Structure 1
């Protein structure tokens, strides 16, 4: 088990990272090519390839139980899960399978965990979602990333909403199918998802609306910029970095 595992588009260490596995995620093997495993993530159905050396097998019973349960997520930048024999770092947004307040369970092995975690049985409020989003500030941009040490725009929104108990798809063009449209930027509320398109009209970017016409998003890093009817204005560089296409409101 590892803190983060790259999931690639093809069977090569040089291939594009399409997403990442974070600690505690489950997946199903759907193919194999030499030393590479093609997997499908249990949480969002995303597929890609991982190095077989980074594969952790679990029993069919455990996999079935994992899919049926709602799991807490780590809400601290970095903690550890431990047994007497090993210590594994787990980052913000990691899954904590079957966490009982003291330990998690992976297969039949228990690992102690003493950090903070989300409660999947409690409906989070908007202040909690915004608090979680701001924990990612200054996380560096990484295409395909989902961790605080490297994350992309849709990985960021997926992780924040996932910690708050709402499973979004992986990519921005998929996420835009969720929620109800907000017709004017002046009607946007904190926690809304703002989507941005390229010249061809394809959704290529997403961020989370904050108070006072601000937005938190991944652009070089997780940062806060100004949002208006044109898009995202980067005051540091004095230009519009993204063109606004639509705003959606997701009920947690």
Structure 2
């Protein structure tokens, strides 16, 4: 008999399951996932192999994952960073040539066919994308980082993977102000509330689960705003929503109300959201 495991973070179906779940779930076969990585700027992760199904989350270029099945143009995968399970297009993944050396550290940056910003760009990459840099070049006093295929990106837009952008999560989140809200989004091109929290924590060297209910159950410790007070970087949760405390009076969040990342008075947000979804369910200090 199978345990009731969260399918968002455990790879199992009636016909196939992660070998690490043997004895916990029932499946026809148990296999070890094959390592791969994302090779497109942003890969949508769906709950079913269906392009019309909702987007649960996104994986960024260079992110590692395990592949359990490929069928009909879809790959059933589990992301390495947060363990999320779902389906991506087969063409969005490939075999990596080695570990990433750098991570994109600005909300968005362009990838060029060579080290010259006047070249037509090849792709746009989001903060959090992971790249293997093999060299450097300089054109008209602008330094570039060179990838294995000869393409180039502005060097100042990267950090070595071992470095953190800052220790202030709110300053990272504020870089996404006015980024469009996108359900399931987790990039500089579109982001949702829990994606913003996960991204900001990741760029400060902290891991976080993907969805707001998972974050509300595990991030840091619960605080009481009346006795503990609120400070920069605290998180306030509602049913299905989360945002950063920028200061004790200000909320910074990816808002489905404005449809972009915004800041607003905390009291106004609490009153507005209460009319639809109730009062905050908890406050946590990561």
Q: TM-score range by the shorter chain?
A: 0.7 to 0.9
> 2:214 is matched with which residue: 169, 174, 195?
174
Is the alpha carbon distance of 1:97 and 1:247 closer, same or farther for their aligned partners in structure 2, counting shifts above 3 Å?
farther
Q: Unaligned 5+ residue runs, structure 1? A: 198-203
Q: Unaligned 5+ residue runs, structure 2? A: 1-38, 137-143
Deviation per CA, 1:95-134: give whole Å up to 9, x if none.
34568886476xx6565332323454358333xx322211
Measure, in 1, the Cα distance between the counterparts of 2:135 and 2:235. 32
Q: Which has the higher contact order (CA 8 A, sep 6+)?
A: 1
Match of 1:209 in 2: 245
Superposed CA RMSD in Å reads: 3.0
Match of 2:238 in 1: 196
The alpha carbon displacement at 1:135 in A equals 1.3
Q: Kindly indicate whether residue 230 of structure 2 is the aligned counterpart of residue 225 of structure 1.
A: no
Is the alpha carbon distance of 1:46 and 1:239 closer, same or farther for their aligned partners in structure 2, counting shifts above 3 Å?
same
Measure, in 1, the Cα distance between the counterparts of 2:250 and 2:277. 14
Measure, in 2, the Cα distance between the counterparts of 1:216 and 1:205. 12
Match of 2:194 in 1: 154
Between 94-103 and 144-153, report the one with greater CA deviation.
94-103
Between 182-191 and 47-56, report the one with greater CA deviation.
182-191
Which secondary structure state, in structure 2, belongs to the residue aligned with residue 210 of structure 1?
A: strand
In the superposition, the TM-score normalised over structure 1's length comes to 0.78
Deviation per CA, 1:9-30: give whole Å up to 9, x if none.
1111111111111122111111
- The structure whose Rg is larger is 2
Q: Kindly indicate whether residue 56 of structure 2 is the aligned counterpart of residue 26 of structure 1.
A: no
The alpha carbon displacement at 1:57 in A equals 2.4
Residue pair 1:231, 1:240 contacting (<8 A) in 2 also: no
Match of 2:279 in 1: 243
Is the alpha carbon distance of 1:54 and 1:123 closer, same or farther for their aligned partners in structure 2, counting shifts above 3 Å?
closer
Aligned residues: 229
Residue pair 1:217, 1:223 contacting (<8 A) in 2 also: yes
Between 112-121 and 130-139, report the one with greater CA deviation.
112-121
Measure, in 1, the Cα distance between the counterparts of 2:274 and 2:214. 30
> 1:78 is matched with which residue: 99, 108, 113?
108
Match of 1:56 in 2: 94
Which secondary structure state, in structure 1, belongs to the residue aligned with residue 178 of structure 2?
A: coil
Q: Kindly indicate whether residue 129 of structure 2 is the aligned counterpart of residue 94 of structure 1.
A: yes
Q: Kindly indicate whether residue 142 of structure 2 is the aligned counterpart of residue 131 of structure 1.
A: no
Residue pair 2:230, 2:247 contacting (<8 A) in 1 also: no
Match of 1:3 in 2: 41
Residue pair 1:216, 1:223 contacting (<8 A) in 2 also: yes
Deviation per CA, 1:138-181: give whole Å up to 9, x if none.
11211111112221111111111111111111111111212022
